[in-house]
Structure 1
Amino acid sequence: MAACLHVDALDLQPPSSSQVVYREDCTQCFDSIDDESGLNVCLSCFNGGCAGSSDHARLHYERFGHPLALNIKRTQKEVQREEPPQKISKLAITAETDEDRYNLSTRLVCYSCDQETTKASNSKLQPIIVGVMNATTFSKREEIKAWEQEFIPCEHTISLVQQEPRHIKSQDLSQCSRCDLKENLWLCLECGNLGCGRTQFGGTGGNSHGLSHFDETSHAVAVKLGSITADGSADIYCYQCNEERTDPDLATHLAHWGINLAGREKTEKSLMEMQVEQNLRWDFTMTTGDGHELNSIFGPGLTGLSNLGNSCYLSSVVQCLFDLPEFQRRYYHPDERPPFSEDPAADLETQLRKLADGILSGRYSRQNKNTMTSSDSHETLHQKGLAPSMFKHLIGRDHAEFSTMRQQDAFEFLLHIFKLITLSKHPGGLDNPVESFRFCMEQRLECLNCKKVRYRLDVQDNVSIPVPAHRVGNLGDTASDGSFEPVTLFECLDAFTSGEVVDLRCTCCGSQEKFSKRSSFRTMPAQLVINARRFELINWVPTKLDIPVEVNDEPVDLTAYLSAGPTDGEEVLPEDGDSDRDFQVNSELLGQLIGMGFPEVRSEKALSLTGNADLEAAMNWLLSHVDDPSVDEPIKKKQITRDAPYHAHDPSKIAQLNDMGIDNSRAVRALAATGGDINRAIDWVFSHPDDIVETGDTQQYTSNQHGSLETTPGFDTTPATYQLRSIVCHKGSSVHAGHYVAFVRKRLPGNSGLSWVMFNDEKVVEVADVQEMKKFAYLYFFSRV
């Protein structure tokens, strides 16, 4: 092996604690260190690139000129299958290392020398290689950060009073004060006592002397010495709360006992690292009604996604989206190079293409011996599943909910993806696949006194419909089992489009009369997604109801829900008769809502949109729209002029919005409507598609007093026939708990017709009957026939 001449010429440094090292899977495909060719980690920027047929590592060199890479290959050690471990506490999880499970091999690659293997001319690379190999992987790093967001200070960490350090100078900080253990040591921040942690599974790791110290002294707050890092992160545990916490003054509290953060180096796995590993071992068993294990299926479009810890909401939605032809045409380009990006892991276009290739190519849909499940009759091998860590981190970045490891609402996640895709740049003039979901909802208001009408069109990409609840028997009746009578999809749509009477002042005739209000479809989309709302307020808490909804596999005709728009002879209310601006709130109901803790602006909006006469309807609206971007915008908004001066807003903020594909006029309007807050401005643009005018070469939507649009998304042709394509199902009492799975209709090899396929995270199986699951689905995806 020849010595590489480029080592001395390059100014290479080991990765810092804040740098991300992509040493697990390729940033542009799902090839990983477990593959035959391994993964090449760039020693200049620590990007991970595959070394196989796609060879994204070489593409990285061609684009950025970084010649040196470390090839890492991992093979799993043979281990004996054991029974599942007993249930253990968070503080007693064994810290299993990669070395316990895998064999790792490394070699140096230089693309400038065009040599697969080189020998460094000196030891300059050794600390860099050691830094790469010891760095926390990207997926683990993001999982830990997401879990850590759940931690908060408590009254005991905030009000901590430390004793004078009388004996700390002579205390040995390398060993428990009561036994000879030298790891898993916890320092009492109140008195400086050093005690070992709780006994871990298997009888090792600690003798619980830190807990004994609390029992004897009531000193609640302790820090794990081996977890302290120079940047101030550490495991803090409050024995009084019996929870992991944070300490805002950790540096000061440690300095009190002679510990300098700048000189600390993490030597042990943190509680969160061990907790993440434990959570990812959670498994599911899938059997038929007679106890037989469902058979796994493999091939293109049949690739599962592994659970990253409560990420089933993401996996189920993604499987339904990438089954659609619009998403496949937009993101699946197996013969093309990935788009240019200086940071592929943080580029939405790259990550969506990576996800499409992983799911649709079939390259990763293969049996894995470590995913075997057993039933009484036989054993079944499943897939390993793709870990969409980069995609999850990117989608959830800076989002208060989706950046956490908590279970989330699949419907809210779908809308969040739609928003990010819509606001992203589309290279090469490629279409936005979300357009296939867009259509126009028509709202018709008629004054019951003067009979004049107003039409308003709203551009939407989803429908959230109520599911009527008809209990079997009376609630409280001994004959009632709490179940509900089944309803049809048409009954739900009837309830959604039915008319209602609302209180508004007519600005044409001046009377304080009632208005009739009715919603219907003006156009229909190519892909229709319906969210079935099965909720009821019980003690002011939204509770999920198991109401069966009957949906057929055969095509359904939705023509009856299409409106033809204004009819001949109708008199249209003048443009200045904006019923929202002249809305008079029911002060009694407003006071009740405010008394319950709802903000005044939200309460007014809820009453305005629900008829101004029903407290429960307003409550339902508030609870179901709590995360709407525009929920805090007042009804009586100051009108923003179309040609507001650009200099009224920070040019850098306008430039940021321009980079997201938002033109100057829209950026100015959005910033003006949100007080210059750029994050709220982004939400404003997305939540006001019908409020936008045509500017430059950017096509937008705008409605006039007749409710017509200059550019109308969707179809108004009939018949409006749709066929059920996929569903997302949820089991659990709340959408923020339980488990999501997806059922998708696919054409499988050897089958003459369409078959239902269940995606349960990484497990992909064919199912014969989904009738019961369809009845309780949370999201329905219909395709126009």
Structure 2
Amino acid sequence: MTTLEAIGSSLPYGARVYKDDCMYNFDTAENNPNGLDVCLQCYQAFSRGVDSNYTQEHALKKEHDFYFNIRKTLKENPNKYNELGESNSKLAKLEVKDVAEEDIYDFIYTIYSNSSDDSIPLEDAPQNIQLLTQEILATNSSNRQDEIKTWEQEIQPCEHSVSIQPVQTLTTGESKPVLDQCSECSLKENLWICLHCGIIGCGRQQYGSTLQGNSHMLAHYEAHPTHPVAIKLGSLDVDNCDAYCYKCNDEVKVPELVAILLAYGIDVSTLVKTEKNLIELNLDQNLNWDFKLDGANGEKLPPVFGPGLTGFQNLGNSCYLNSVIQVLYSLPAYTSYFKEFDGKFPENVTNPAVDLTSQLLKIYDGLSSGRYSVPSHTKDDTYQLGIKPSAFKTLIGENHPEFQTQRQQDAFEFLLYFLEKSNKEVGSKLNESFKFVVENKIKCLDCENVKLSTELVDNLSIPIKDVVDSVDAETGTKTYKTVQLNDSLTDYCAPELLGDYKCPKCTSYNMLKSIGLKSFPSVLIVNAKRIKLENWVPVKIDVPIEVPGTIDISELKSKGLQEGEIEIEEDEDEQDSDVRSSKFEPNQEALNSLLSMGFPEPRSIKSLHATGNNSAEEAMNWLFAHMDDADIDSPLQESGSNKDNSKNEPSEELVNNLVGMGFSTQLATKALILNGSDVNAAVEWLFSNPDDDGVIESTSTPTVEQKSDKEIVAQLEGTGNPKYKLHAVVCHKGTSPHTGHYVAFIRKIIDGEEKWVLFNDEKVVACADLSDVITNGYVYIFVEDKL
């Protein structure tokens, strides 16, 4: 076993430090009395709790005995309450708080040994350990690195940053710029240098930050419009760069930055970052918005606490993810699935942060245990702090062009993506309660020939009629007639003429299409298609939708082949296309419409596949929402039609990079696969696992059952109960699914009584007013009504 003296004094290059919470639960240095133990050999974090000692488990498994223990205790705050006992922390609706952790907590640092179950003060540890722990504290955590990385991916050069010609002085005879003070005032922080002339000016006051600024760099640009690009000096080093273009009013990249700065006598390699960069400041601002939560009449909604009533913190713009996961984990099928693990995580997973099953188990513990559903002492005692699913968000969105970003996303699209990804990586059993069989029937009204096909689906995405009732003369705001959800479900399955579709037997174009359900799922997901195209822009239509507490969809049951109808015999190849996962055939009429509008064929086919192959309008809405997808023009890849990419096979270039550092090809490949092709994380893993043989072991749970769609269709046909009870609703406020805010309303049993509970990120409150469900309902979850 390694001694303290034998441990290195610095972090390996590219090492990821996990210091926000435990790898297996949401215990932190704040909420666990024993603090958080950061392993001094692999830099993963573990906790010692009442029910589980993950530090001990890791120590025994890896023979890593020593840990940097970080404990935070709340400072006394005598001014927290006024003389009436009321909290003094009453905030404006959009107030942003920028409070340093040092103002809230006292920090206690020790070195913990698992073998002796004892700790020593950090100042008594060997010098190498003190140096190492200083680096651990100074280094951004793994979660923070991922957050910054997602913002960096969105920053691109602009036309002004790619053509900068540096001039050393603004006026003749002026010497090299003084870098430690604004040229117009006495500020020595928040300093920027103009890349066009080298003058130094202070930046703007950052809203919600204590960083001062008098906007003198902005004033310089206004006086010299040909000097739009500036760099922030305090955040500049080899790995960090803040560049801003005042003309574009956005953050940008500067391709030749090193050479430009050298023209002003600034060597980037010698600089040390001393201030937060724009990305970090933006993250701080996004993560600290604090909204008041009131009822319809202005009263504060009562918070609720306990198992199943734990909120999620908003990770910038993650309310879409928070709402969907809250709903899924409220379902009996999900809770029973994860309960079967009995608190045990997959044993063969080296890094739980990059294993989906481990992350889902961690979320199950966080939401169901109730340990974290307690009033917060750092923001507002009224509500809880909530758990922070940072590692899960990074993992689930990995390599996805939209869900890996910090931008707001469509909750329904995320739900479909999550179901697909978890089916592949966790197994079909987790989501089998959503599956049901739909029969598509196409009948020729002239010769009575009928073609029947089936597909396996996990949701109904239904159109909503948007009939305008009135228009406000001053604002132009439209008011729509109320729609009944039952009527929309009926319309979805109603027969419709196909138009250009030709009968394969008599060549008639008099064809009728209808849809029916051949089975009923235990959990029915219904999406209201509120997104419409107005002036070529996708917008959300605020149609009021009345949703009954219970529904009976018996009338949607497939009627099959009727008397007098003749089924068209299919050959073996056609039979293989009965389920959606096989070869996709686009709706030819809709495809032709999209092609005539000028959309390329690959993206047209992809849009029809994503929207259920129904109409050109729905596909066009999807296209406008996904124009910036990196793979928008790549050919459609369907499950079963291409090789399994779930292992994220690394590129040959990445493997060769690690081989060039002295690692074997097999070991380098394993490191990249386990870390999602993240080179820095792979290097960290390699240094932490010097004795690994490079053999890749399966990370799936041994009990996972994978079934083909055909097997599931055969199993489900003719099963299920058509009567349902409304269980949850994901609501959205905003003009577009990619902006605004998502929340979830979920039925819960509280003190033996069934109540509706509103999950608004970390704020969890009992709510009797369901008006938002009518006006903003977007995704409805019904569970089988067994009464």
Normalising by the residue count of structure 2, what TM-score does the alignment of the two structures yield? 0.80
Per-residue deviation at 1:601? Answer: 4.5
Residues 236-385 of structure 1 correspond to what in structure 2 (within 5 A)? 236-332=243-339, 335-340=342-347, 341-372=349-380, 381-385=382-386
Per-residue deviation at 1:777? Answer: 1.0
Residue 108 (structure 2) pairs with residue 105 (structure 1): yes
**Equivalent residue letter for 2:3:** H
1:163 alignment partner, one of 162, 167, 171? 167
Which residue is 2:130 aligned to?
Answer: 126
2:708 alignment partner, one of 700, 720, 730? 700
Q: In the aligned structure 1, how far is the partner of 2:241 from the partner of 2:296? A: 48
Which residue is 1:573 aligned to?
Answer: 568
Residue 26 (structure 2) pairs with residue 24 (structure 1): no
Residues 597-608 of structure 1 correspond to what in structure 2 (within 5 A)? 597-603=598-604
Residue 34 (structure 2) pairs with residue 48 (structure 1): no
Structure 1 residues without counterparts, runs of 5 or longer: 373-379, 659-677, 679-696, 703-708
> Is the contact made by 2:93 and 2:290 (CA closer than 8 Å) also made in structure 1?
no
Per-residue deviation at 1:334? Answer: 8.0
Per-residue deviation at 1:214? Answer: 2.4
Q: In the aligned structure 2, how far is the partner of 1:721 from the partner of 1:540? A: 39
Q: In the aligned structure 2, how far is the partner of 1:477 from the partner of 1:303? A: 44
Alpha carbons of 1:348 and 1:136: their partners in 2 closer, same or farther (altered >3 Å)?
A: same
Alpha carbons of 1:13 and 1:550: their partners in 2 closer, same or farther (altered >3 Å)?
A: same
2:739 alignment partner, one of 737, 746, 759? 737
> Is the contact made by 1:439 and 1:713 (CA closer than 8 Å) also made in structure 2?
no
Q: In the aligned structure 1, how far is the partner of 2:627 from the partner of 2:38? A: 43
Per-residue deviation at 1:292? Answer: 1.9
Q: In the aligned structure 1, how far is the partner of 2:726 from the partner of 2:199? A: 64
> Is the contact made by 1:551 and 1:775 (CA closer than 8 Å) also made in structure 2?
no
> Is the contact made by 2:437 and 2:713 (CA closer than 8 Å) also made in structure 1?
no
Which residue is 2:547 aligned to?
Answer: 551
Q: In the aligned structure 2, how far is the partner of 1:610 from the partner of 1:448? A: 27
Q: In the aligned structure 2, how far is the partner of 1:630 from the partner of 1:343? A: 29
**Equivalent residue letter for 1:421:** S
**Equivalent residue letter for 1:57:** T
Which residue is 1:391 aligned to?
Answer: 392
Q: In the aligned structure 2, how far is the partner of 1:82 from the partner of 1:24? A: 26
Q: In the aligned structure 2, how far is the partner of 1:463 from the partner of 1:357? A: 30
Where 1:8 maps in the other structure, the secondary structure is helix
Count residues in correspondence. Answer: 707
> Is the contact made by 1:444 and 1:455 (CA closer than 8 Å) also made in structure 2?
yes
Residue 230 (structure 2) pairs with residue 222 (structure 1): yes
Which residue is 1:670 aligned to?
Answer: none
Per-residue deviation at 1:634? Answer: 7.7
Per-residue deviation at 1:763? Answer: 1.1
Where 1:213 maps in the other structure, the secondary structure is helix
Per-residue deviation at 1:183? Answer: 2.6
> Is the contact made by 1:502 and 1:611 (CA closer than 8 Å) also made in structure 2?
no
Per-residue deviation at 1:87? Answer: 8.8
Q: In the aligned structure 2, how far is the partner of 1:612 from the partner of 1:415? A: 16
Which residue is 1:472 aligned to?
Answer: 469
Where 2:566 maps in the other structure, the secondary structure is coil
Q: Calculate the aligned-residue CA RMSD, in Å.
A: 4.0
Which string of whole-angstrom CA distances, capped at 9 and with x for unpartnered residues, describes residues 555-575 of structure 1? 321111111433465422232
The farther-off stretch of 175-184 and 18-27 is: 175-184
Which residue is 2:764 aligned to?
Answer: 764
Per-residue deviation at 1:114? Answer: 4.0
Q: In the aligned structure 2, how far is the partner of 1:277 from the partner of 1:398? A: 24
Q: In the aligned structure 1, how far is the partner of 2:375 from the partner of 2:71? A: 20
Where 1:157 maps in the other structure, the secondary structure is coil
Where 1:483 maps in the other structure, the secondary structure is strand
The farther-off stretch of 79-88 and 310-319 is: 79-88
Where 2:490 maps in the other structure, the secondary structure is helix
Per-residue deviation at 1:192? Answer: 2.1
Per-residue deviation at 1:306? Answer: 1.4
Which residue is 1:524 aligned to?
Answer: 520
Which string of whole-angstrom CA distances, capped at 9 and with x for unpartnered residues, describes residues 449-507 of structure 1? 3321111111111110111223326x699999732222222211111111111245657
Q: In the aligned structure 2, how far is the partner of 1:64 from the partner of 1:582? A: 52
> Is the contact made by 1:502 and 1:612 (CA closer than 8 Å) also made in structure 2?
no
Per-residue deviation at 1:141? Answer: 2.8
Residue 61 (structure 2) pairs with residue 63 (structure 1): yes
Residue 479 (structure 2) pairs with residue 483 (structure 1): yes
> Is the contact made by 1:471 and 1:484 (CA closer than 8 Å) also made in structure 2?
yes
The farther-off stretch of 346-355 and 607-616 is: 607-616
> Is the contact made by 2:232 and 2:242 (CA closer than 8 Å) also made in structure 1?
yes
Alpha carbons of 1:731 and 1:158: their partners in 2 closer, same or farther (altered >3 Å)?
A: same
Per-residue deviation at 1:370? Answer: 3.4
Which residue is 1:728 aligned to?
Answer: 730
Which string of whole-angstrom CA distances, capped at 9 and with x for unpartnered residues, describes residues 254-306 of structure 1? 23333333333211111221222222221222223332211111111111111
Per-residue deviation at 1:176? Answer: 3.5
Per-residue deviation at 1:343? Answer: 0.8
Alpha carbons of 1:204 and 1:397: their partners in 2 closer, same or farther (altered >3 Å)?
A: closer
Residue 242 (structure 2) pairs with residue 235 (structure 1): yes
The farther-off stretch of 523-532 and 59-68 is: 59-68
Per-residue deviation at 1:354? Answer: 0.8
Which residue is 2:413 aligned to?
Answer: 412
The farther-off stretch of 307-316 and 114-123 is: 114-123
Structure 2 residues without counterparts, runs of 5 or longer: 80-87, 578-582, 651-672, 674-704
Q: In the aligned structure 1, how far is the partner of 2:508 from the partner of 2:631? A: 28
Alpha carbons of 1:101 and 1:190: their partners in 2 closer, same or farther (altered >3 Å)?
A: farther
